[in-house]
Chains A and B, each alone.
Chain A
Amino acid sequence: MCKCAQIAVCVTGAVLYFLQPAAQLLGQDLNAEAKSKDAAEARAKRNAQNFQNNAKVLTLLDRYGQRTGQIGDRAMYDVVVMSPDGKRIATVKEDLDNESADLWVADVATGATTRITTSPRTEFISSAVWSPDASRLAYVTIRKGHEAIYVRSANGQGAEELLYKNPGAFLNLTDWSLDGRFLTFAISDLSGGTLYILPLEGGPERKALEIFHSDLRIFVPLFSPDGRYLSYIMLDKTDKIEVFVRPADPVAKEGPWQISDGSFSPGFWARSGKELYYQARDQSVMSAAVSTSPSFSFSKPKVLFRQPVPVPDPLQCVSPDGQRFIVLPPARGQELQQITIFDRKGQVAKKVGEPALYSGPAFSPEGDRLLVAKNDIQTGQQDLWVLDIATAKATRITGDTRFKTTALWSPDGKYIFYTALIDGDWPVYRKPADGTGKEEVMFRYTPGAFVGVSDISPDGKFLVCNSGGVVLLVPLLPDDPAARKEIEYVRDEFTDLTARLSPDGRFLVYVSDEAKPERFEAYVLPFDAAKPAAVDKKWRVSKDGVTVTSNSSAMPHWRGDGKEIFFRGLELNSNDLVMMTADVETGSEFRVGTPKVLFRLKGPIDGSLGAVSRDGQQFVLAINVPADKTDKRATAK
């Protein structure tokens, strides 16, 4: 009965197709250059760094949120599912070197693990469920181009058996009914979601029964213990999640019932059928008293516990008896971020405000304010704020559940530009930097395409953006945003990112993997908005690589007088942030000096495009600091 939050892997795993037997295929294995000693060593270091920063340990909590133990080894877990008898846990663990993910079983009492599947390179197990007697595991993977559900013994012995061949993609398998007769899964994409149950009688030609379809995305259906109802979650257009319950019978007239008022997890049934658990947006674990006989009913959810840590861990799974809750605490321990300003020697010049879940700090053009993204632990919401550096006074810019990214100041400091995800699209918006006024859509790109803003021209007449490795110019005319059309300014076979204009508007610095695959360098091009870039005429600024962070920012930045370019150096041996600088001239011809290290900071630290002040004298970063483990907000039942 206990099932886990599998959405991410179900979606990402479902997009990982492997269409033919490996021996006949091209496109899966690395070529000779990628297998070379240098490339292999660099890849191994990146993978080791990724593992070091992200591998976690399965951790048990009791009904009061207290940690009571750990299970198994440290790993990159994608799926965590407890067996119906509560004695074992099935997990899907990533193999970074093989670019694959496989199914394992861990014994709760001993931590001993058993490998269940061994996937070829680039192949993934995307979701898994236990049979009611805990003897078998059903799982989703893609073989010979077709996504399917397979089943095999939970001890790893014997062959796998095909249970169901999905005619499409994105199958999110999340439960096996306790009577053993049905599986349930959801299939969602940007066109909406559908709930299914799969009767297991018969052979591989079994037909799935549609229970419910919605224009919204649906994930993680879970059977009530008596099999009569399904809990599931739906995501609205702004990706706000709610837990619902509806009958497993498609023709039943009752329901659905919305259980949550904001959730970050599926709705987990207790084996008794009398409780339903989920994690609320403030990360409290909630419990709703429920009944499924004669019909479904529930009471208003109550806080069961709040983990006694400043940043509660996402709930992965609940044991059938409702006594154990499994979480994956962060690899480096509980951390918040302190907004910190450094000088050119890497010395702390000022700390702004108190630590919180901050990212992407950026100096205003005048250097007196900071733009930051902040995750509010109480609301589970990420928003943009402006902080006054002198007073730390915060002004809210946005207030909604959308995910926002690539936020930048306008050159005059009056507006904040950003991209926000809404209904699968990434429009570019702006709002006044004083927190007043309405949000304006500035540009809409191809449906479903991510577009990030990397600069705004000094005259405010066009945006510089990047999407899919292409540098775009977006003229902010005509007035009708729907009529605005991008210009593909740098488009070639290489991944070109984060282009930024020189202060005089005559040159463009950007990063590209042109010189070597899987490695970026900074380049400068002459710039003329009236015509696409002549990419054959350019200057390489970096010599030994640049680090492109998770937000695709290598932090290229022009000093305000155009005489210096900053960028983040490549560092594969540690998490350190290496701030590099190169002297440049932007006269009749561009000239660049030898890059040198300005300072190093112990990381990991994400960078942002506004991290350097206009005068090049200050650097603002969100520095990880240990969170206070005696957080007074923590409450227990």
Chain B
Amino acid sequence: MISRARLLPLALLVLAALMVSPATAHHNMTAVFDFNDRVTVAGTLTDVDWRNPHTNFIVEVKGPGGVIEIWKIEGPSPSFFRVRDVGKADFEASVGKSVTVEISRARDKSRFGLIRTFALSNGKSVSACPQNC
């Protein structure tokens, strides 16, 4: 569904546009993530949390000197995937395997990001958008 506010004055249109649908998302992504800071994270998917308000994933990345970096990746809500051609099982099948995720990094520069694309271990690529971008 296209989510647009209607019959509202301009100010409220803006508000409504900035306000993501409560049914599908939790916070305004620009409050937490910097869309100008794109990072590609390649590593092993170790955890999948398939609950609202967002799916969450843990990807372990071998950093400099072999040190393992833990990246927390936020995805769209499970509701987004319920009607789409990709689902929980696709992600869970990649646990313990190599994945590549393009993210918008958190504004605090922590190892936390918002999914833009998610390349599963079977080579399939998932777009997290438009719901979560």
Contact = CB atoms under 8 A, between A and B. Distances in A.
Co-complex (A, B): yes
Interface of A: 5, 7-9, 11-12, 15-20, 24-31, 33-34, 39, 46-47, 54, 76, 78, 94, 96, 99, 101, 122, 124, 142, 145, 167-170, 189-191, 217, 219, 235, 239-241, 263-265, 279, 283, 314, 330, 380, 382, 401, 403, 421, 424-425, 446-450, 452, 466-470, 491-497, 513, 517-518, 548, 552
Contacts of A452: 22
Contacts of B127: 17-20, 25-28
17 contacts: A15-B133, A17-B133, A19-B127, A19-B128, A20-B127, A46-B1, A76-B2, A170-B35, A189-B35, A190-B18, A217-B14, A283-B9, A314-B10, A450-B26, A492-B52, A493-B88, A497-B23
Contacts of B93: none
A241 B53 contact: no
Contacts of B12: 382, 403
Contacts of B87: 31
B2 A448 contact: no
Given A169-B133, A450-B19, A29 B4 contact: no
B5 interface: yes
Among B7, B17, B19, B128, residue most surrounded by chain A Cβ atoms (within 10 Å):
B7
B116 A11 contact: no
> Which are the 7 A-B pairs with shortest beta-carbon distances?
A468-B53, A448-B31, A468-B26, A17-B129, A189-B30, A16-B130, A449-B27
Contacts of A19: 102, 116-117, 127-129
A19 B14 CA distance: 25
B95 interface: no
B77 A495 contact: yes
Nearest to A31: B85
Nearest to A403: B15
A168 B35 CA distance: 5
A467 B19 CA distance: 12
Given A19-B117, A314-B10, A421 B15 contact: yes
B30 A30 contact: no
Contacts of B129: 16-19, 27, 122, 142
A170 B5 CA distance: 18
Interface in B92-121: 102, 107, 116-117
B2 A235 contact: no
A446 B130 contact: no
Given A403-B15, A491-B52, A264 B133 contact: no
Contacts of A8: 4-5, 10, 13-14, 16-17
Among A169, A170, A279, A517, residue most surrounded by chain B Cβ atoms (within 10 Å):
A169
A54 B22 contact: no
Contacts of A263: 10
Given A46-B1, A450-B20, A469-B77, A20 B14 contact: no
Contact of B14 (A7, A99, A382, A493): A7
Nearest to B86: A26
B29 A25 contact: no
B46 interface: no
A557 to B, nearest CB: 19
A31 B83 CA distance: 6
A99 B84 CA distance: 13
Nearest to B88: A493
A518 B83 contact: yes
Contacts of A18: 127, 129-130
A448 B30 contact: yes
B4 A12 contact: yes
A238 to B, nearest CB: 9
Interface string B16-45: 111110111111111110011000000000
Contacts of B20: 450
Contacts of B31: 190, 424-425, 447-449
B53 A469 contact: yes
A190 B80 CA distance: 24
A333 to B, nearest CB: 12
A139 B40 CA distance: 28
B109 to A, nearest CB: 14
A8 B6 CA distance: 10
B33 to A, nearest CB: 10
Contact of A29 (B6, B9, B24, B85): B85
B84 A30 contact: yes
A68 B20 CA distance: 37
A257 to B, nearest CB: 20
A27 B126 CA distance: 6
Contacts of A330: 7
A517 B9 contact: no
Nearest to A28: B127
Nearest to B7: A330
Given A18-B127, A450-B22, A145 B116 contact: yes
B71 interface: no
A7 B12 CA distance: 11
B13 A240 contact: no
Among B6, B22, B85, B88, residue most surrounded by chain A Cβ atoms (within 10 Å):
B22
A491 B4 contact: no
B85 A496 contact: no
Contacts of B85: 26-31
B36 to A, nearest CB: 4
Contacts of A235: 11, 14
Given A20-B125, A145-B116, A54 B6 contact: yes
Contacts of B4: 8-9, 12, 76, 78, 94
